[in-house]
Copies of this chain bind each other. A is one copy, B any other.
């Protein structure tokens, strides 16, 4: 069977997305980031705030570390990936206690855009 270039790309993305999702679900987010984030990755939160937008791997890591320091994570579930072209989605369900706050469930979708085997954009939906 001949595979169309469009479908072949989607298969590569799915492999990348599955590996990325597995690392994230195992709580190995920093490793996932080191392996798959592009140097010029951009991230976009859904609400205003200090880290509403980040540009570049250093700032994205700074945001990730700030988040990790301010939340105690009890459980992470990651559903997906769901793929279209060079983008994929993961559905995150995280049980956390924010510093000084109460235990809560966070549900969010993250849309990842991939170029040349690296994640160049993360967009958060909730």
Contact = CB atoms under 8 A, between A and B. Distances in A.
A54 interface: no
B123 A84 contact: yes
A51 interface: no
A126 B4 CA distance: 18
Interface in A71-126: 80, 82-85, 87-89, 91, 107-109, 111, 123-126
Interface residues of A, number: 26
Nearest to A88: B125
A80 B109 CA distance: 10
Given A91-B91, A109-B89, A124 B47 contact: no
From A44, A80, A84, A107, name the one whose CB has the most chain B CB atoms within 10 angstroms: A84
